[in-house]
Structure 1
Amino acid sequence: MENIKDTSIYRNPVILQSEDLTKYILETAVYPREPEALKELRKATENHPWGFMATLPEAGQLMTILLKLLNPKKTLEVGVFTGYSLLLTALNIPHDGKITAIDIDRKSYEVGLPVIKKAGVEHKIDFIESPALPILDNLLEDPTNEGSFDFAFIDADKENYVKYHERIIKLVKVGGLLVYDNTLWGGRVAWPEEDVPQHAKSGRQAAIEFNKTITQDSRVEFALTSIGDGLSVCRRIV
C-alpha cells in the first residue's frame, strides 16, 4: 500500500468548506431524505429577512439520528427562530414527548407554526416567549426539573452560551445530550483576529470561549464537528 506522506488533501479547509462540496452533500445526502414538512418549513424560512439564521438541514440530518438513538421524551430548545430544528425534534420524539421551547421572538416562530400544525406535532411543544436565562433559572428553582430532560438543543445568542451551558447541564440527565449550533461561527474561530469583520468579532470570541469551556468541562463527553456551521455534541457523564 502506498505510503501517503502529504495528508493536506484530507484537511484542506478550502476544500472542506467549498460551496461545491456543500451543494454535493445537500443534493446527494440531505435533500433526498428531508421530510416534506421540514422541506416546506425550510422553503418558508427562505423568505424571512433573517433566513440565514435557520438550522442548516445537514446539521438537522445528524440531529435526527441522535434523536432516534436517544429516543427522548422530554427535551429543551433555546432559540427557536422559525422552528426548523423544533419541528425536526417534534417529528422524532414519541407522541407523548414534550419540548420546552424558548425564544424572544414569537413572530418568527409563527412563520413555521402553520407547518408544525399541519404536521400534527404542535401538542408536543410548549413555546415560551422570553429571554432564556430567566426561564432556565425558573426551571432550576424546582428540584424535580434537575436531571429530568433527555435532550437539549441550543441555537441562540452566542454570547450567553457559557451561561446557558451552566444551567442546562443541571437540567439534562446523565447520559443525555446537549447540542450547540454555530460553534465554528462561519469558520472565523480559526481566522486571524485582524481578518474578522467588526460585526462578527463578538460572536467569534464568544464561540472561542465556549469551545474552550466545553473542552475543559469534565462533566461531558464532547465532539466539535464541522457539520453545518459547527455542531457541538455533548453527552453528560457526571
Structure 2
Amino acid sequence: MPPIANPELERYAHDHTEPPAALLDELREYTRAHDSRAGMQVGRIEGTLLGVLVALMQARRVLEIGTFTGYSALSMAQALPPDGELLTCDRDPEVARVARSFFDRSEHGKKIRIAVGDALDTIRALPASPPFDLVFIDADKVRYSTYYEEALPRLRRGGLIVADNTLWSGEVLAPETEDGRALADFNDLVVRDRRVEKVMLTVRDGVTLARKL
C-alpha cells in the first residue's frame, strides 16, 4: 500500500529515522526482486517504529500475525532481550522459508519461531500463560477483528496491540471493497472498546496502537 503522507514528507521522515541493519535492507531488496507482493512488506519507518515500541515496553514476548518475508519480525526481534521470544504466524510455507533463511543469518534469529498454518488455529492453541507483551496484526484484513478478539485475552495488562493498514489508502472513509469494509469495522470495534486505550497514527498506511487496560 502507498503511504498516505505527501511523498516529499515521507522521504523527509525516512531520512530522519534510524536506518535499519544491513540485513534488513538486503531482505527488503530481495523481497522486491523476487515477490510481486513486495508492497505487503512494512516500510522502513514502520519497521523502526515496531522495534522502538518493543524496546520502550521492555517486551519479552511478542506475537506477530502475518510474517510475509520477515522484515517486521526481525525488526522487533532485534529489540528483544537475549532471552526474548517472538512467535510469528503465516500460512504460506514459501514466504516462511524466505523469512527463516534471513533469520538464520541474524544473531537475533534464534529468538523467532515461525508457525506455518492458519494463524487463528495457532493462536487458539496457545496457553493462557505466559501472556504476550506486544501483538502485531498484519495479515488478511477480513479477519482483523477476529485476530484482535483472540489476541487480547492473551495480552498482559499494559500490553500493546499494533495493527497495520488501518487507513487502507483512505478507503476506510468510504469502504467499497471487502477489505476496506473489514478494516472500517475493525477501527470502529477498537475505538468503542473500553478494554483498551487507543490511538491511530498516519504512519504509512495507518497504524493503530491499543494498550490493554
For residues 30 and 178 of structure 2, what CA distance do their matches in structure 1 show? 29
* Structure 1 residue runs without a partner (length 5+): 1-15
Aligned-pair distance for 1:20?
2.4
How far, CA to CA, are the matches of 1:236 and 1:70 in structure 2?
13
- Give how far 1:111 is off: 2.3
State the superposition RMSD in angstroms. 1.5
> What amino acid maps onto 2:19 in structure 1?
R
Kept after mapping to 2: 8 A contact 1:102/1:130: yes
Deviation readout 1:11-49 (Å, 9 max, x if unpaired): xxxxx62222222222x223x622212111111111211
**Deviation for aligned residue 1:223:** 0.7
Matched residue, 1:224: 200
The answer on whether the counterparts of 1:214 and 1:222 sit within 8 Å (CA) in structure 2 is yes
User: Does residue 1:233 correspond to 2:209, yes or no?
Assistant: yes
Equivalent pair of 1:78/1:154 in contact (CA under 8 Å): yes
Q: What's the CA shift string for 1:150-195, capped at 9, x where partnerless?
A: 11111001110111111100001001111010111112112x45xx
> 1:11-90, aligned counterparts within 5 Å?
17-26=5-14, 28-30=15-17, 33-47=19-33, 48-90=35-77
Based on CA coordinates, which of the two structures has the bigger radius of gyration? 1
CA contact under 8 A between 1:44 and 1:112: conserved in structure 2?
no
Q: Distance in 1 between matches of 2:98 and 2:8?
A: 30
Measure the CA separation in 1 of the matches of 2:85 and 2:164.
21
Indicate which of 188, 199, 207 corresponds to 1:212: 188
Superposition map of 1:95-106 within 5 A: 95-106=82-93
Picking from 107, 112, 128, the partner of 2:115 is 128
- Aligned to 1:159, what secondary structure does the other structure show? helix
Q: Take 2:30 and 2:78, find their aligned partners in 1: how far apart are those partners?
A: 18
Q: What secondary structure does 1:118 align onto?
A: coil
* 1:109 partnered with 2:92: no
> 1:75–1:98: 8 Å Cα contact kept in structure 2?
yes
The separation in 2 between residues aligned to 1:143 and 1:85, in whole angstroms, is: 25
| 1:93 and 2:69 are equivalent in the alignment | no
Q: Which amino acid in structure 1 is aligned with residue 11 of structure 2?
A: K
Equivalent position amino acid for 2:129 in 1:
T
Identify the residue that residue 132 of structure 2 maps to in structure 1.
149
Cα offset for 1:106? 2.1
> How far 1:52 moved relative to its partner?
0.5
- CA change 1:108–1:143 in 2 (3 A) is closer
**Secondary structure of 1:33's partner?**
coil
Paired amino acid for 1:216: R
Contact kept, 8 Å, 1:45 with 1:112, in 2: the verdict is: no
State the partner residue of 2:146.
163
Q: Is the 8 A contact 1:73 1:97 kept in 2?
A: yes
Q: TM-score, normalised by structure 1?
A: 0.83
What is the alpha-carbon distance in structure 1 between the residues aligned to residue 43 and residue 178 of structure 2? 22
- Out of 157, 171, 179, the residue aligned to residue 203 of structure 1 is 179
Ranked by relative contact order (alpha carbons within 8 Å, sequence separation 6 or more), the top structure is: 2
Q: SS of the residue aligned with 1:67?
A: helix
Q: TM-score if structure 2 supplies the norm length?
A: 0.92
